[in-house]
Amino acid sequence: MNGGRRTGILGGTFDPIHVGHLAVAAAACRELELDEVVLIPSHLPPHRSHAPIASGYHRFAMVALALVQEDAYLGSDLELSAGGPSYTSVTLDTLRRQGGHPSQIFFITGADAFAEIASWRDYPDVLDRSHFVVVSRPGHPASDLPRLLPDIAFRMRSPDAKLSDASPPNGTFVWLVDATTPNISSSDIRRHVAGGRSVEGLVPPRVAAYIERHQLYRSHGVDTTLHD
């Protein structure tokens, strides 16, 4: 792929951020030749019935710590400062108002989450607001998506595809990245911490130290059953 500067956007609750998130970002960055990836912690994920366990302050701090040695990665408080539910379409509209062009923005997500794209706010119009980079997750290969989502299969491409004249209206595509990513979730991390088990290798070392220092996810009120 050729063209101007490419910016990846990876949103999430990041409660906490873990090596699986970073692996998804790395796969997208590598395959789509992204110049930077911006990680945006959500304020209130609309797909969850409960607020995040850790505060926005702690979640943003953990994202920042996870990216200390990642020169091409940045953290943003765009959704945290906006308040209310964090919708992808609203975030992409905000980025466009700030000067971002849909053809240069690549929204990164896992194949498991993208399989539910029809339930997202402003679907299918949201697909015109940026490229989407869909990375395989354990049990959810990106290559299955044309079969699962036949109505938008015409938008789907592999990263090495040559673009044809039959492009979607805004020139944005759904890029399918088949990559091996760790089978880890934030709820796994919270269960480990609540159970007194080590999270070594599951989160970046600085994040593990931060969780320990601030005693996150240890209170009796922590719900470790939420999957994220």
Is the pLDDT at 225 greater than 60? The verdict is no
- Residue 49 in domain: yes
Total of domains in the chain: 1
Burial bucket for residue 203 (CB in 10 Å: 0-12, 13-18, 19+): buried
Q: Give the residue numbers spanning the domain of 137.
A: 7-214
Contact assessment for residue 197 and residue 167, using Cβ atoms and an 8 Å cutoff: no
- Residue 227 in domain: no
**122-180 confidence digits (pLDDT tens):** 999 999 999 999 999 999 999 999 999 999 999 999 988 755 544 565 689 999 999 99
- Residue 184 in domain: yes
| pTM of the shown model | 0.91
- Give the domain CATH number at 190: 3.40.50.620
Contact assessment for residue 217 and residue 195, using Cβ atoms and an 8 Å cutoff: no
Closest CA to 132 of 149, 98, 157, 163: 157
CA distance 10 to 24: 9
Radius of gyration, CA atoms only, the chain: 17
CA atoms within 13 A on the CB side of 29: 18
- Residue 228 in domain: no
Q: Which amino acid appears at position 154 of this protein?
A: F
Average pLDDT estimate for 98-113: 94
For residue 64, the Cα-to-chain-centroid distance in whole angstroms is: 15
CA distance 212 to 215: 5
